[in-house]
Copies of this chain bind each other. A is one copy, B any other.
């Protein structure tokens, strides 16, 4: 019951004893460097220690286990969502849209981030800053905090879901070591065998018509994001200011 079981509450530099030979931030940066270059599965405590020029077990002086390494990686990169200088737009929808695009930009730079962040609760300082910023954009609209949380939760859900589906294909290739051509060949020949049964008319149209007017990933991301924000805006307009989104109980 020391009260310091939480990573973010634990002081980085204790009062007594010799000073640590590197910082938590350096540890996080090293892990991010590895994951960016070789993928998330390349991160092992030994590999990470080697990158830092330290012994493997020394890492456990900085972190209780591998999970906290991931926590540090996530919170550090989440910090990239929020450029310090820029003032957020006045309109809440523009603000959330900008935030969504920044999330997508940095997540594509760190392809390991999306699945990692989606799987664990966000509790670090940058995640807190992100939430504060997002909620702040909705201030003054007459929404309750619960309504605000529901709203930004919906937008982030879409953003994370879209990015993961966008990355699934390319990450799958990297993980399996196949080329795009190999994968497409295997997948397509299977789809063709399904179509041959006659029970898949839409897939048949897909193989024949798709790609002629190919929709870029950017545009697809924008499409869903804008439709979602439109729908939210419409529902805010509909209620005069008395009732909110999904307020229940």
**Which A residues fall within an 8 A CB radius of B?**
3, 5-6, 8-9, 67, 115, 118-121, 123, 125, 128, 131-132, 135-136, 139, 144-151, 153-162, 164-165, 168-169, 171-172, 175-176, 182-183, 186-187, 189-191, 193-194, 199-203, 205-206, 209-216, 219-220, 222-224, 226-232, 234-235, 245-249
Contact = CB atoms under 8 A, between A and B. Distances in A.
Interface of chain A, helix or strand or loop or mixed? helix
Contacts of A224: 150, 153-155, 157-158, 228
Contacts of A206: 135, 145, 149
A231 B220 contact: no
In the complex, the count of this chain's copies comes to 2
A119 B119 CA distance: 11
B203 A118 contact: no
30 contacts: A5-B182, A6-B189, A8-B190, A9-B186, A119-B168, A119-B171, A121-B169, A121-B172, A136-B201, A146-B209, A146-B211, A146-B214, A148-B202, A149-B206, A150-B215, A153-B220, A154-B158, A154-B227, A156-B161, A157-B162, A158-B228, A160-B164, A213-B249, A215-B246, A215-B247, A216-B248, A216-B249, A223-B245, A227-B231, A231-B231
